[in-house]
Structure 1
Amino acid sequence: MAWVTANEMRTLEASAFSSGVDPGELMDRAAWGIARRLLDYFPAPGRAVAFMGKGNNAGDAVAVLEILRRHGWRVSLRSCHPMIEWSVLTRQRARRAGLNPEAEIPSGPGPLLLLDGLLGIGAKGDLREPLLGMAREMGELRRHRGAWVVAIDLPSGLHTDEGTSGQGGVTADLTVTVGVPKKGLHADAAADRIGQLFLAPLEELPPPAGRAPRWAFPEAFPDLLPPRAHSFHKGDAGRVAVLAGSTNMSGAAVLSATGALRGGAGLVTLFLDPDNRAAPRPEIMTRRVGSRIEAAFDERADARVIGPGLGGLTPPQRKSLLDRFADPATPLVLDADALNLLAAESATALLAGHHLITPHPGEFARLAPDLAKLPRLEAARRFTDRHPCTLLLKGARTVVCGPGGDLRINPTGHAGMATGGQGDVLAGVCGALAASGISLTDAAMLGAWLCGRAAERAVTHGGQSQESCTAGDTLAHLGGAFRDWHERRR
């Protein structure tokens, strides 16, 4: 899904209206798209309060409240402007819903959502009173009462094109951008303001084509994960060989191999040292051999995952592994200690089109210290210009870049994924997707989306908090994440 500037978004809207689209109907469709995302994310009804300015962004918030109320939510409005100053559409939606501004927050069980309808895409600079006071109130409720702040289109105070935030800007937990993602959402500086990013697409507002970076929303890649044929068998699903884990780091091996299994691979073989007593799932074939590097590369496979928890290697082993990296016969997913080996041996020149590398920021800094301080999108593009591999740069906004500058940004996941083992799971899932025959760029993007979505489901459907989410929770919810991709439910 490509992006637009504020002016381009206004042009899209003006074009839709000139072609006969009714502004009120478009607002209602946008509200349903926003409400659908919230109802999926919060399966049990709770309380929702719209914090309103006086423009149409406030009307969107009111229309969302109307839908939530029909689904059992208790709702109310907060406004610092008299109703006579509201836009015509906002007044109409409030009257239709029978809602008037109130001072009280609804009481009762369930989550408390604060809908940020203060400002739209045209606002710039610092928030001023009386909106500043409302933004502060939202922040206090978020910090002290566990409220979730939901930004409509983008958080108030965030510059639509630049992604910078003025003084007093709203910090959202969820942002539901309407129609087309806005350019400022790309910025590294915007990540802490946006929270988790969702899309409410509108067919009346088509995104521009041929523009990078693209956001990894299922709507933008409808043919990427087609249904399996009824005659499908395990050979069709692909074979993955996993070379991971050392004697004292067997957990990484189990997580990455299980990630490959849960990621859809038909056959997964895990190669361990003879003295590694890890006990993977029974569905995973485990081989404990002294010459496991050679065995892992001699094994018939459609993709190989190399590196999670691999630990220290002897000089001959290091040379053997680097020699095998150069063989383009099979896609290689290189993670963790495989990346550390490339950095330590100054061997990044080996990286080629059959490699998918999955560094976190520290590993990326070791691979390319001169790029590590650049904005993430620029750093990723420059790295793949230098090394024609596929890069999955992990972080709060995971960035994928394939050869030729095919940049994509993953919107899924949350801060609870900052735990050990999540990267091991991701490497395995990417290996399974690569083994299925899709491009490494698609495998990286889809793997990041699925793991992030699975972690989200661990919170929304699994009863976990972000603080307690583990790599095992992500594994447990991968099936639901696949279903969400198919059904475009995020």
Structure 2
Amino acid sequence: MAARRPALDVVKQLIPPLSEKLHKGQAGRVGVVGGSEDYTGAPFFSAISAMRLGADLGHIFCDVEAATVIKSYSPDLIVHPYMHKSPKSYQKDQNVPSVSEIVDTISQTFSRLHVLVVGPGLSRDKLMLDTATGIIQKAKEQDMAIVLDADGLFLVQNNPDVVKGYAKAVLTPNVVEFKRLCEAMNLKFNEQNNDNMAEELSKAFGGKRHAYNISSGYNCLLTKSAVFMCDAVGGLKRVGGQGDILSGAIATFLAWGKAYQDKVWEHDSSIAPEDISLYAGWAGCRLVRECAHLAYEKHGRAVLTSDMALEVGEAYRRVFDPGG
């Protein structure tokens, strides 16, 4: 199936208007499940990018030993120290809750969220991964949109059933992660045929619709029926953390899609519910490429992910609101 660019005017319909009639939280409540002792930046970049794009609230559910560090990055984020590493990582006398207890605690907050991002900085600790698996199951029961990135993709690679057949799961693999997912599903990876590979991978995951490679730089698998490409100019420096910004951006557009479905503002409902993930995925990719381009223009080889995160607002204005 040939890839194409979506009509920007259609994508922009998902964006809620700035209005005195909206109250706090209606423009997006995003939760990020991740953050461990060694990886505190990833969930921060995901959640803060979601908020800089326009989400009203950003929550992070992280390991207890990562919480204070993440809180120190920004007072704008709500940080919940509910996740735990395996008991062997702690002092012997420390009480570590069971997976079910942790999952129950976190899932009680789902009524306050629109979208979950699972994976940034999660680590590959068994208890952290088992907990994330339980959280995904609970989110599916409540029909929440879920973005899986980084260690969340490692989780899917080793347990495909966790998202198999779930139409509201959005995967954001880079090329290496995409290859591993194909191998996990017994598909022969062909980097020169991305569109068809994404379609085949979606079928392997049991979806009746198709998954798609959004761009060669940022591959997003979406349970949809078209292939959207994002070939906008990005930056030439590839630094760790760009995918975290992508996950937060897609999550915000998905949260806006939920508000669109709930008709929080008046519109003609021309976007079908099953198409929202596709447009949200492309919009997140387009925004991140613009962020990378703007940051690279300013900093060149010295560019950092933190520089990209600071460009989210300007990137949004240039792509989606040039007259604003």
TM-score (norm 1): 0.51
Match of 1:383 in 2: 201
**Contact 1:390–1:402 (CA<8 Å) still a contact in 2?**
yes
Aligned to 1:238: 28
The one-letter code of the counterpart of 2:311 is H
2:256 is the counterpart of 1:436: yes
Q: Structure 1: where are the runs of 5+ without partners?
A: 1-210
Matching residue within 295, 304, 307 for 2:116: 304
Work out which of the residue numbers 195, 209, 215 in structure 1 matches 2:5.
215
Most deviating of 393-402 and 376-385? 393-402
What is the CA-CA distance between 1:220 and the residue it aligns to?
6.8
Task: Provide, for residues 352-410 of structure 1, a one-character-per-residue CA deviation record: whole Å limited to 9, x for no partner.
Answer: 11101111111112211224225111111222233338857476444555434311001
- Mapping of 1:78-157 within 5 angstroms? none
Quick one: which amino acid aligns to residue 309 of structure 1?
G
Question: Is the alpha carbon distance of 1:353 and 1:222 closer, same or farther for their aligned partners in structure 2, counting shifts above 3 Å?
Answer: same
Q: Say whether residues 1:420 and 2:240 are aligned partners.
A: yes
Deviation of 1:245 (Å): 1.1
Name the residue aligned to 1:361. 175
Percent of matched pairs sharing the same residue: 24
CA contact (8 A) 1:381 1:405 kept: no
The one-letter code sitting in structure 1 at the alignment partner of 2:106 is: A
Pick closer, same or farther for the CA change 1:234–1:397 going to 2, 3 Å.
same
Q: Which residue of 2 aligns with 1:448?
A: 285
Q: Which residue of structure 2 lines up, in the alignment, with residue 68 of structure 1?
A: none
* 8 Å Cα contact 2:133/2:162 also seen in 1: no
Do the aligned partners of 2:210 and 2:225 also contact (CA within 8 Å) in 1? no
Counterpart position of 2:87: none
CA distance in 2, matches of 1:392, 1:472: 28
Q: What secondary structure is seen at the aligned counterpart in 1 of 2:73? A: coil
Deviations 1:210-247 (A, max 9, x none): x9421256367454436433423322212111111111
Note if 1:485 corresponds to 2:278. no
- Tell me, what secondary structure is at the counterpart of 2:113? coil
User: C-alpha distance in 1, partners of 2:149/2:212?
Assistant: 10
Conservation of the 8 A alpha-carbon contact between 2:27 and 2:256 = yes
Instruction: Report the TM-score when normalising by structure 2.
Output: 0.75
Aligned to 2:273: none
Q: 1:296 to 1:216 in 2, by over 3 A?
A: farther
Query: Could you say if the C-alpha distance between residues 332 and 286 of structure 1 is closer, same or farther in structure 2, counting changes exceeding 3 Å?
Result: same
Aligned residue pairs total 276
Please identify which structure carries the higher strand content.
1
Residues 118 and 146 in structure 2, CA contact (< 8 A), matched pair in contact too: yes
What amino acid sits opposite 1:282 in the alignment? P
Change (3 A) 1:243 1:397: closer
Pick aligned residue for 1:263 from 41, 53, 67: 53
Measure, in 2, the Cα distance between the counterparts of 1:337 and 1:365: 15
Residues 417 and 443 of structure 1: CA distance in aligned 2, closer, same or farther (over 3 Å): farther
Summarize the Cα distance change of 1:292–1:468 in structure 2 as closer, same or farther, 3 Å threshold. Answer: farther
Alpha-carbon deviation of 1:477?
A: 0.8
How far 1:328 sits from its partner (Å)? 4.9
Q: Does 1:464 align with 2:299?
A: yes
Task: Name the structure 2 match of 1:154.
Answer: none
Residues 285 and 413 of structure 1, relative CA distance in 2, 3 Å threshold: farther
CA displacement, residues 254-286 of structure 1 (integer Å, 9 cap, x when unaligned): 111112211211111111122213223111111
Measure the CA separation in 1 of the matches of 2:175 and 2:246: 15
Q: Which deviates further from its counterpart, 228-237 or 405-414?
A: 228-237
Distance 1:294 1:263, change over 3 A: farther
Structure 2: unaligned runs, 5 residues or longer: 84-100, 259-275
Residue pair 1:413, 1:451 contacting (<8 A) in 2 also:
no
SS at match of 2:59: strand
Deviates more, 1:313-322 or 1:248-257: 313-322
Q: In the alignment, what sits opposite 2:93? A: none
1:233 partner letter: H
CA distance in structure 1 between the partners assigned to 2:231 and 2:123 by the alignment: 31
CA deviation vs aligned residue, 1:453-488 (integer Å, no higher than 9, x gap): 11112234xx221x2222212111111111112345
Quick one: which of 282, 290, 295 aligns to 2:75? 282
C-alpha distance in 2 between matches for 1:459 and 1:254: 21
* Matched residue, 1:329: 143
Judging by fraction of residues, say which structure has more helix: 2
Give the partner amino acid of 2:108.
D
- 1:339 paired with 2:153, answer yes
Equivalent residue for 1:249? 39
